[in-house]
Amino acid sequence: MFGLFVRFTCKDETAAAAFDELVARTGEQIHANEPGTVVYAVHRVDGRPLERVFYELYRDEVAFEEHESKDYVCAFLSDREQYLAATEVDRLGFVSGKGVSLEH
């Protein structure tokens, strides 16, 4: 199991709305085409309207690399920059949890 915790800060409310649309379009493709992506969850942050948090879990690093190679993910990675003021990424090593396991 491999994961990411990503915090995005959008430039302004207009950028946040456009970013949310980009995220929705990309998320549909991830859901339809990536069996190795276990969790791909995007959240708004209460009290911080320009922030978005992504929690991503992949079966393993190979599944993550496959995710990153998809055309729609490459487009997301390129297109998102116009909407963002900051990006913070933490790579996660799975220890334990409910609803996920180390088994494939």
Q: Of 2, 61, 73, 62, whose CA–CA distance to 31 is shortest?
A: 73
pLDDT tens-digit series, residues 15-71: 999 999 999 999 999 999 999 999 999 999 999 999 999 999 999 999 999 999 999
Residues of the chain by 3-state class (helix, strand, coil), percent to 5: 40, 40, 20
Is position 86 within any domain?
Answer: yes
Q: How many domains does the chain have?
A: 1
Contact between 13 and 83 under an 8 Å Cβ cutoff? The reply is: no
pTM: 0.91
101 lies in a domain?
no
List, in sequence order, every residue forming a beta bridge with 6; answer none if it has no partner: 54, 89
In a domain, 77, yes or no: yes
Structural domain harbouring 85: 2-93
Token readout for 65 is 């690399």
Residue 100, domain member (yes or no): no
pLDDT at 102 over 80: no
Residue 19 belongs to a domain: yes
CATH number at residue 66: 3.30.70.100
103 domain-assigned: no
